[in-house]
């Protein structure tokens, strides 16, 4: 999986949003599949119009590591963005990260539906909540 900085650079290189959506879908396709038992009520993200699951593999003060999946192609790409943005950071880094500012670099908010924006916000909330519990 590419770093968020690499993804942002790739977004800047692409000419239009049709290409960026295709790239986002490709990012989602690169995610490893979750096992059936990992798609549970416990791992489901509330507030997403599509089904989204986040599985936290490691939750410590020094490292938050997670995987995810969705039943919708673009949303799965958004899950990949969240993984690139937050995974592998310390709990304090996750809490301090201004994700909206980071996502503004790729002008995401103006190009996804309000429902998808709500889903991204729900994913960020879940990730930051998990990080806060680790501190």
Q: Over the stretch 119-129, which tens digit does the pLDDT of each residue have?
A: 999 999 999 99
Exactly one of 48, 52, 84, 106 is catalytic; name it: 48
Query: pLDDT for 41-73, tens place per residue?
Result: 999 999 888 999 999 998 988 999 999 999 999
φ/ψ of residue 128, rounded to 5: -70, -35
Round to whole Å and give the CA distance between 69 and 25.
Answer: 12
The number of domains in the chain is 1
Domain that residue 121 falls in: 4-134
Is 115 one of the catalytic residues? Answer: no
15 — pLDDT class (breaks 50, 70, 90): confident
Task: Provide Rg for the chain, Cα atoms.
Answer: 14
Q: What is the mean pLDDT of residues 74-100?
A: 96
Q: What is the mean pLDDT of residues 60-87?
A: 95
Round to whole Å and give the CA distance between 68 and 27.
Answer: 12
Q: What is the CATH number of the domain that holds 66?
A: 3.90.1010.10
φ/ψ of residue 53, rounded to 5: -125, 135
Six-digit token string for 13:
């290189």
> With 90 as the cut, is the pLDDT of residue 88 above it?
yes
33 — pLDDT class (breaks 50, 70, 90): very high
């Amino acid at each position: 999986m590419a770093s968020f900085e690499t993804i942002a650079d790739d977004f800047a290189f692409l000419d239009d949003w049709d290409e960026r959506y295709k790239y986002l879908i490709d990012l989602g396709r690169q995610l490893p599949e979750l096992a059936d038992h990992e798609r549970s009520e416990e791992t489901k993200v509330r507030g997403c119009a599509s089904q989204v699951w986040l599985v936290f593999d490691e939750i410590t003060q020094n490292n938050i590591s997670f995987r995810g999946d969705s039943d919708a192609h673009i949303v799965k790409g958004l899950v990949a963005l969240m993984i690139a943005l937050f995974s592998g950071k310390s709990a304090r880094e996750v809490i301090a990260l201004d994700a909206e500012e980071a996502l503004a670099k790729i002008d995401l908010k103006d190009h996804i539906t309000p429902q998808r924006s709500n889903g991204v916000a729900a994913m960020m909330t879940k990730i930051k909540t998990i990080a806060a519990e680790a501190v």
